[in-house]
Amino acid sequence: MEERKANILAENIKVNSLGKKQHPIYLDDVKFSFANTEIYLSQISDLKFGLSLMQFYRFSLGSKYVISVKDSDHEINLVFINYFGLDTDYFDTLYDQITDAIWDQIADRLVAEKVQQLKSGNNFKVGNCLFNKEGITINRHNLFSNNKEFIPWEDLTYKKNYNRLTLYSKSNSQIWTNLFYTENWNVYLAMYMLDWIYDQNGLTALKLNNNKFN
């Protein structure tokens, strides 16, 4: 991923179709500020991007766009509500502009950090899943039980859907889970790590690194 310099976004925006452009936002290749909170991109540790549909029974009420980032001390949660598709072009453009600019600046660093966590034998948590050298552990909680289901890397498959990442066991169809982009932190980082493991020979790298400590 080649780092590109972000265009400066400095204007007042609206956050829903019925509102006015009265919310000041600022974003460049160094910092992001909204709602009196400022975060330096180099300090971002977690992110959450996504789009979800709002429905009432079978009726579509519109779309919700979520952009959240945080560092050790601050958190920015930016939500756009597009009622009945009234401002689809406006919110699509604004969402893409913000997420592309942020991702271009932080993706390489955060993905590298998470890969190093796995290589060092540390867990990386996303939603109800723990990623480690050997695979993924899915934690399931309810009022009566706390179950853990492990899927080794060799048995894992995944699917990128429009609103979630779905993880499956290839050998047991009963073991699976969803990680929703708008609800779970760092799902995009998890997707890039999975692509690294399966498409960029990352699994071999993990095994070689694991053998060094055995």
Average pLDDT over residues 160-170: 96
Query: Among 45-49, 105-109, 115-119, which is the least confidently predicted range?
Result: 115-119
Local confidence band at 151 (pLDDT 50, 70, 90 cut-offs)? very high
195's enclosing H/E stretch is helix 187-199
Question: CA dihedral defined by 21, 23, 29, 31, rounded to 10 degrees?
Answer: 180
* Cα torsion angle, 191, 194, 195, 196, sign: positive
Average pLDDT over residues 146-165: 94
64: its two tokens = 């919700």
Q: What confidence score (pLDDT) does residue 143 get?
A: 65
Q: Is the pLDDT of residue 63 over 90?
A: yes
Non-local (6+) Cβ contacts of 95 within 8 A are 51, 65, 67, 80
pTM: 0.88
Q: What confidence score (pLDDT) does residue 214 get?
A: 45
50/58 Cα distance (integer angstroms): 22
Report residue 70: phi and psi, to 5°: -150, 155
Taking only the tens place, the pLDDT of each residue in 10-53 is 999 999 999 999 999 999 999 999 999 999 999 999 999 999 99
Q: Is the pLDDT of residue 141 over 90?
A: no
Q: What confidence score (pLDDT) does residue 210 get?
A: 62
Q: What confidence score (pLDDT) does residue 2 get?
A: 47
**Residue written as token pair 């971002």:** 44
Average pLDDT over residues 70-75: 96
Local confidence band at 213 (pLDDT 50, 70, 90 cut-offs)? very low
58: its two tokens = 């079978």
Taking only the tens place, the pLDDT of each residue in 191-209 is 999 999 998 888 888 876 6
> CB–CB of 63/52 below 8 Å?
yes
60/44 Cα distance (integer angstroms): 34
Average pLDDT over residues 123-151: 90
Long-range contacts of 31-35 (CB under 8 A, 24+ apart): 32/69, 32/76, 32/102, 33/76, 34/76, 34/78, 35/76, 35/78
Q: What confidence score (pLDDT) does residue 4 get?
A: 47
177/127 Cα distance (integer angstroms): 10
104/87 Cα distance (integer angstroms): 26
Local confidence band at 211 (pLDDT 50, 70, 90 cut-offs)? low
167: its two tokens = 């993880």
Average pLDDT over residues 155-160: 96
Long-range contacts of 33-41 (CB under 8 A, 24+ apart): 33/76, 34/76, 34/78, 35/76, 35/78, 37/74, 37/75, 37/76, 38/74, 39/69, 39/70, 39/71, 39/74, 39/76, 40/71, 41/102, 41/105, 41/106
163's enclosing H/E stretch is none
Taking only the tens place, the pLDDT of each residue in 51-60 is 999 988 888 8
